[in-house]
Amino acid sequence: MTSIAKPPVRHPGLHKNASGFTVRDYEGAMSTLCAGCGHDSVTAALVQSFWELDLPPHRAAKMSGIGCSSKTTAYFMKQSHGFNSVHGRMPSVTSGANAANRDLTYIGISGDGDSLSIGLGQLSHAIRRNVRMLYVIDNNGVYGLTKGQFSASADIGSTSKKGEANVQPPIDPVLLALTLGCTFVARSFSGDKAQLVPIIKAGLSHNGLALIDVISPCVTFNDHEGSTKSYKFTREHEVEIAHADFVPLRREITAPATDEAVSVVTMHDGSTVRFRKTAEDYDPTNREQAYAHVRACQMRHEVATGLLFVSEEGKDMHAVARTVKTPLVDLPFAELCPGNDALQKLMEKYR
Amino acid sequence: MSGINDFAFKMATVNGTGSASANSLLMQAIFRMGIPVTGKNLFPSNIQGLPTFYEIRASKDGYTARPEDVDLIVALNQATYAKDVATVRPGGYLVYDSSWPMEPDLVREGINIMGIPFGRMCVENFETDRDRTLLRNIVYVGALAAFLEIDMDIISQMLVEKFSKKKRLFDANNTAIKLGYDYAKANFQCPLPFHLQTMDATKDFIIIDGNTAAALGALFAGATVGAWYPITPSTSLMDAFTGFCQKYRTDAETGLAKYCIIQAEDELSAAGCVIGAGWAGARAFTNTSGPGISLMQEFIGLAYYTEIPAVFFDIQRTGPATGMPTRTQQGDLFSLAYASHGDTKHLVLFPCNPEECFYMSPIAFDLAERFQTPVFVASDLDIGMNDWMCRRLAWDDSYRPDRGKVLNAEQLEGVKKFSRYLDVDGDGIAARTLPGVHPNGAYFVRGSGHDKHGAYTEDSDLYQEVVDRIKRKFETARGAVPAPEFHRQAGADVGIVSLGGCHAAVMEAIDRLRELGIVADYMRVRAFPFNDSVKAFIDSHSSVFVVEQNRDAQLRALIAIETGVPRDHMISVLDYGGMPLTATTVVNAVSHHKAQVHA
């Protein structure tokens, strides 16, 4: 999971979760990304989240397209199936897989090139279809594997390593998702694990597509002065609008009592997300307000983070299609094939 | 032609005016009289207002190819009238709407012209504009019933079936039929010299289109996920699948669906959904046409290289580019056989009619899962959208899907390190695992270079080991795909090779060639890669004709590339104007060539 090999002998003090796994069991192959890459921190946050949620690794499927971000699905949960598909098309592969087996936990990892340029249509339509999945965009504003071209999320005026300024307006996945009716929209920062982990956990409990845009700086091509996706810029301009604490259903609520106003959103599986309001009057269940806040931050050159919008009212792809609860892959053939008697009856209609 | 139960007639109308249902009614009525019949709907890429034609051929001998010329035309479209007059064979008949006087220059010598005031009768008998337009078609059904002696009891029975719950429509249709019938009887010599007589040749047959039959096949094969993007002429396949699923795959207790159909945002996405579902373990398919196949190329290569089952129904239309969306062709052979960049080769099936669309559906799913690869069913517009008389479909209840080598949880329990691309028995096929089944089965699908364990590689030898094995798999498939169908005759001196929808015309041509003294053996290729018998057949005939519906002789080229038979040993008979093939095209090409050789 990191760029540094870990000792094969496990620390005896590692805690096991309710499923009997240590955090090391959620790790994957060694990362081949550049040392210090934001994506590795996202991977670490994912590993932490899966462990905390007691997720059985083999019941999860890791989905990705092409790019630095898409490579990271190899760096966690080696006991899960992974699917590194084609550039920008992870959403459709996940849609089909989810149609076939609705019981798996789908974790889609994408990037700003993969999702906002070549795959913008696929992202939009996966949102429209409301495929139940976690959809993480590791957003660094550049194409890393092809050495530093601006991506569609680069801000106007943000400069490349060579000093050239980007002139085209950015596509903001958060604003896009809010517009398209996405029912779970968050933004976080790879350097803020404390914020990211509860958002990932809430996203995994969401009844639909949970989109998390993670500002994840590219240390090699976009971490310089003049970049608006650098560690420095993000730290200085991050504004956490609404801090979310995730409380799984089966755990007692042990969150410390606080003077802050707390609002609670109950997820479909009974777990809860508790919002400690950090921005005044922010209501994370109000789509219009979420849009306005994010837009206002953008105008002030601030990066709005947090679980920005959540609604458990929406129907996911299977609810809309009214498919059976049993995954389609588990239906016995006898239930699928009508048989010759039915066929012969039907043939009369073609006479 | 032009005899009892052996003639063709054609309706020239405007699309969007309701003629389609009248034409189906005519075809079905002839079918129910026990007479072999074919219908070809030659329609425009348009919803309303453009010329459309429907040809019906009755053939006591059971020929189902498109007729060469027509004995009678019902010319109800002013816009095409001049052309329609010219299409009637000499001595044939033309029916026109005599509500208005006919332009004198549209009269043709040597044919029989019969005027019937369809428009006026409709105005006098029906109230609304809509009824007057729609029922004009039913009036010509009545007139044709008189001209051709279609059994009126059968027509009445069909109206009862169709409008049993709509009394007003039933009455109106009945009136319209009678108007046409009575007018024809009162004003013309009925029946015409060519007409129908009840036979008993259709009782084991049905009338069905290829897209419906293919959808039915997918249903019976156990397909649960269908993903698609609307495109003519493939749309009716998913429409039919949806309808069948609603009927047969809705849980009786809960009303929930045992299938999932995704209308995707484009064909790329449709292909992605199918591959995702196939990877997860479902039988999944998409239906599309040439432009969609072009868009799916990258995904097809991914499925090929990562070895994921997927079924693609390509209902071919006239290309290139948008081409002629409502015209037929066999122009996608190259783009299917070698779809996607890099070294790729695919399994392609060539059904020749709706019956075979049905039976090839489960074969396609079995092959896809057994060989863990994309399989294409190359149908076309003529097969897919036209109504064909086919043998009644039957299902073998002992059929069980061939899921191929898939390791279950029990088998995986003892596996220490699962290697996804390891060929243990030499057939080129490695065992796969499905997500969610067992932790020991986990592996990482990657379209990037991988070794036999599934791990990333840029090593030449490890890369080649995998692609060479995939090639071996393709060789194994050669013997597993449907073998060619042979029609041999004693004393044959020529060989004819063809495929798909050309079959009906070739079969008829062979009979007509025999009458001309040319005895031909016929091989219908049913799949790619070619079975060894394909080369053997060509080698054993001194002159070989390859009949196909594209400009570039794609089947001939594929045979030359794949079997090593010299291309020039095969004479191409090409028909690519977009219309279903006629026997005459084949007869003329073969007989002219033979005449030239002998001259």
* Cα separation, A80 vs A293, whole angstroms: 38
Which residue has tokens 């002030």?
Answer: A300
The count of residues in chain B is 599
For A351, name the nearest residue in chain B, comparing CA atoms only.
B206
CB B69 within 8 A of CB B49: no
Chain centre to alpha carbon of residue B66: 14
Residue B440 CB neighbour total at 10 angstroms: 18
What amino acid occupies position B439? P
Q: Nearest CB to B272: which of A96, A317, A344?
A: A96
CATH of domain B485-598: 3.40.50.920
What is the rounded distance in angstroms from the CA atom of residue A228 to the CA atom of residue A233?
A: 6
Q: Does B441 touch chain A (CB under 8 A)?
A: yes
Q: Do domains B208-391 and B485-598 have the same CATH topology?
A: yes
Residue A8 lies in a domain: no
Q: The dihedral of CA A274, A278, A283, A284: what is its sign?
A: negative
Where residue A106 falls (left for φ over 0; alpha for ψ -120 to 50; beta otherwise) is beta
In chain B, which residues have pLDDT < 50? Answer: none
In terms of residue numbers, what domain contains A144?
Answer: 23-347
In angstroms, the CA A277 to CA A260 distance is 7
Question: Domain B208-391 in CATH: superfamily?
Answer: Thiamin diphosphate (ThDP)-binding fold, Pyr/PP domains (3.40.50.970)
Q: In B, which residues are within 8 Å of A93 by CB distance?
A: 272-273, 275-276, 279
SS3 percent helix, strand, coil of chain A, rounded to 5, is: 35, 20, 45
Predicted complex ipTM: 0.96
What beta strand segments (E) does A112-269 contain?
133-139, 142-143, 149-150, 184-189, 209-215, 238-247, 262-266
Q: Is residue A218 predicted with pLDDT exceeding 90?
A: yes
Which residues of chain B lie closer than 8 angstroms to A100, CB-CB?
Answer: 224-225, 260, 276-278, 280-282, 284
Measured distance CA(B506)–CA(B528) in Å, rounded: 20
Q: Do B221 and A337 touch (CB under 8 A)?
A: yes
The total of structural domains in chain A comes to: 1
A81 to chain B, closest Cα gap in Å: 5
At B336-387, the pLDDT tens digits run 999 999 999 999 999 999 999 999 999 999 999 999 999 999 999 999 999 9
Strand order in the sheet with B527-528: B260-263, B225-228, B284-288, B310-316, B374-380, B347-349, B527-528
What's the pLDDT at A263?
Answer: 78
Q: CB-based contact (8 Å) between B221 and chain A? A: yes
The tens digit of pLDDT for each residue in B160-193 reads 999 989 999 999 999 999 999 999 999 999 999 9
The CATH number assigned to the domain holding A293 equals: 3.40.50.970
- Is pTM beyond 0.90 here? yes
Q: Give per-residue pLDDT as tens, A153-200.
A: 999 999 999 999 999 999 999 999 999 999 999 999 999 999 999 999
Alpha helices, H only, B33-166: 81-87, 118-125, 129-148, 152-163
The model's pLDDT over B26-72, given as tens digits with 9 standing for 90+, comes to 999 999 999 999 999 999 988 888 999 999 999 999 999 999 889 99
Within a domain: residue A141? Answer: yes
> What is chain A's alpha carbon radius of gyration, rounded to the nearest angstrom?
21
Residue of A nearest to B286 (CA): A96
Residue B297 phi/psi, 5-degree rounding, is: -50, -45
Q: Is residue A12 a part of any domain in this protein?
A: no
Q: Which residue in the set B268, B278, B395 is minimally distant from A343, CB to CB?
A: B395
pLDDT in tens, A90-121: 999 999 999 999 999 999 999 999 999 999 99
Contact B144, B26 (CB under 8 A): yes
Size of interface A-B (CB pairs under 8 A): 220
Residues B51 and B12: beta-carbon distance below 8 Å:
yes
pLDDT score of A253: 45
The residue among A258, A114, A251 whose CA lies nearest residue A173 is A114
User: Which of B32, B299, B395 is the closest to A339 by Cβ?
Assistant: B395
What tokens were used for A224? 């310089």
Say if residue A338's pLDDT is above 50: yes
pLDDT > 70 in chain A, percent: 95
Q: Which CATH class is domain B6-187?
A: alpha beta
Going through chain A in order, the beta strands assigned E by DSSP cover 60-64, 81-84, 105-111, 133-139, 142-143, 149-150, 184-189, 209-215, 238-247, 262-266, 272-277, 303-310
Integer-rounded Cα radius of gyration of chain B: 27
The reply to whether residue B280 touches residue A96, judged by beta carbons under 8 angstroms, is yes
A229 vs A227: CA distance, rounded Å: 5
Q: What is the pLDDT of residue A259?
A: 55
Residue A4's pLDDT band, with cuts at 50, 70 and 90, is: low
Pair B317, B380: CB distance under 8 Å: yes
pLDDT level of residue A2 (50, 70, 90 thresholds):
low
Pair A209, A130: CB distance under 8 Å: yes
Of A187, A208, A185, A213, the C-alpha closest to A310 is A185
3-state SS assignment for residue B448: coil
Identify residue B130 by its one-letter amino acid code. R
Q: What is the pLDDT of residue A94?
A: 98
What's the pLDDT score for residue A267?
86
Residue B536: predicted pLDDT: 97
The answer to the question of residue A291 being in a domain is yes
CA distance B174 to B186: 18
pLDDT band of A255, cuts 50, 70, 90: very low
Q: Do A59 and B436 touch (CB under 8 A)?
A: yes
Q: Up-side HSE of residue A151: CA atoms within 13 Å toward CB?
A: 35
Mark yes or no for CB contact B269/A122 under 8 Å: yes
How large is the greatest C-alpha to C-alpha distance in chain B, in angstroms?
A: 89
pLDDT at residue B2, rounded to an integer: 77
Q: What is the pLDDT of residue B102?
A: 80
B496 phi-psi bin (left φ>0, alpha ψ -120 to 50, beta other): beta
- Classify residue A227: in a domain, yes or no: yes
- Please state whether B392 falls in left (phi above 0), alpha (psi between -120 and 50) or beta: beta
| CA pair distance B40, B91, nearest whole angstrom | 23
Q: What length does chain A have? A: 351
Q: Where are the domains of chain B?
A: 6-187, 208-391, 409-470, 485-598
The least confident of A57-66, A193-202, A247-256, B534-543 is A247-256
